[in-house]
Amino acid sequence: MATTRQRIKLRRDTAANWTAANPVLPAGEVGYETDTKQAKVGNGSSVWSALEYAPLNRNPVLQSIQLLTTGGNADTAGELAWNEDEQTLDVAKGGGTVLQVGQEMSFLVHNDTANTITEGTGVMYAGTYGASGQLKVAPMIANGSLPGHVFLGVVTETVPAGQDGFVTTFGKVRGINTSAYPTDSILYCDPVNPGGFVTVEPDGPNLKLPVAAVIHSGNNGTIFVRAATGQFIKDCHDVETGDAHDGDVLTWVDAMNRWEHKPPVNGSAPRSITIAGPLAGDSFTLFRTSRDTTLASVTGLVSGGSVTYELRYASDRTTAGTLATISDTVTNTTTGDAATLQNQPILAARWVWIEITAVSGTVGEFNLSVGF
């Protein structure tokens, strides 16, 4: 039997001619506009101008898209596929990175270091990359020299020096070597090896950042990342440490509605010295400052007669020192006589002493109390 071949051509004309003729197309007949590349399908009753264009070469408006729920893979940038294992949509982002929608958070960064950052490395913020809108990253340093809030996440692909790649802040990072870590273990940023991880919480002042859990241990392992930045006490909103010194303690200050650094209670207690039978020319060391110190009061008591004294300070006890009080004379009193203070504060590492410059009458006992 001979084979008969036939060619089917659509009814066609320019848009202007179609509009001018304004025909009624039979039901199912297609009319094609050769200049606009659009078409209409007749219904047997409506004229050309009343028909809607068929969705050819146009962005369709859809109520839903049904994807195959088995066997799909999103491998090339821009592809979508249903992930049967994770029960969500995969979006291929390029560079071998695939995003599980709703279960992961990742973003593009720039490796501005001189070395390749391998997949699975913990990274930190290292500045911005010009007008690109990208952040620069480097392997995370967790020895306490930097605050924890510089930690960003874990690179989910190997990023050569000077190139871009993705960092995961929440979600799974797959295909990395986790054989050094047991399954179910928690990973902390390694304070010794930048970008690495350890399974034992580091000691302070190293950063204590639990940033991932090991889902599968092995050469082709998987971790779940949850970026944690931690914080120092001084970074808490209701804490003010200012120029804290060694030995200071945190004290609640109700008037400021915050915690502040203060010297310990026994460190701010008054210092007192009692001298029996003082003589002019006597000199007695009271204390040595461990921090910058402002005297609040200097009060003398004398039993019989009067005593004239000065309070001095210096880093070298053998020098004349600086006057902390105006020369004060205390005459027989049981309620105390307050000296006038000057040259405050007294800096750290200064010796503070009393010098008796004159004694009048019979003085049985002289007491000096210094308050802070």
What would the pLDDT profile of 319-363 be if each residue is shown by its tens digit?
999 999 988 988 988 888 999 999 888 998 999 999 999 999 999
- Of 84-88, 278-282, 310-314, 328-332, least confident by mean pLDDT is 84-88
Do 244 and 274 lie in a common domain? no
Q: What is the pLDDT of residue 185?
A: 96
CA distance 212 to 183: 12
Do 335 and 351 lie in a common domain? yes
Choose among 161, 166, 103: nearest CA to 135. Answer: 166
Do 219 and 251 lie in a common domain? no
**171 CB contacts (<8 Å, ≥6 apart)?**
100, 103, 104, 105, 106, 224, 225
Do 108 and 222 lie in a common domain? yes
**Residue 256 DSSP code:** T
Domain annotation covers residue 87: no
| pLDDT(96) > 90 | no
**322 CB contacts (<8 Å, ≥6 apart)?**
312, 313, 314, 343
Write the single-letter amino acid at 119.
Answer: E
**Averaged pLDDT for residues 146-164:** 93
| Complete edge-to-edge strand list for the sheet that includes strand 38-41 | 11-13, 30-33, 38-41
Do 285 and 346 lie in a common domain? yes
* Domain count of the fold of the chain: 4
Q: Which of 96-105, 231-240, 296-305 has the highest mean pLDDT?
A: 296-305
Q: What is the mean pLDDT of the chain?
A: 88
Domain annotation covers residue 80: no
Angle at 42 between CA 39 and CA 43, to 5 degrees: 150
Choose among 23, 48, 47: nearest CA to 39. Answer: 48
User: Do 366 and 300 meet the contact criterion of CB atoms below 8 Å apart?
Assistant: yes
Q: What is the pLDDT of residue 4?
A: 53
CA distance 168 to 108: 9
Cis status of the peptide bond prior to 139, with omega within 30 of 0: no
Do 248 and 296 lie in a common domain? no
Do 123 and 148 lie in a common domain? yes
Domain annotation covers residue 240: yes
Do 287 and 352 lie in a common domain? yes
Domain annotation covers residue 25: yes
37 Rama sector, left if φ>0, alpha if ψ -120 to 50, beta otherwise: left
Choose among 50, 30, 53: nearest CA to 42. Answer: 30
User: Do 68 and 60 meet the contact criterion of CB atoms below 8 Å apart?
Assistant: no
Do 129 and 147 lie in a common domain? yes
Domain annotation covers residue 343: yes
Do 199 and 240 lie in a common domain? no
CA distance 149 to 128: 16
Domain annotation covers residue 18: yes
CATH of the domain at 289: 2.60.120
Angle at 360 between CA 358 and CA 361, to 5 degrees: 155
Expressed as residue numbers, the domain containing 247 is: 235-263
Do 252 and 331 lie in a common domain? no
**Residue 4 DSSP code:** P
Domain annotation covers residue 304: yes
Q: What are phi and psi of 183, to 5 degrees?
A: -55, 140
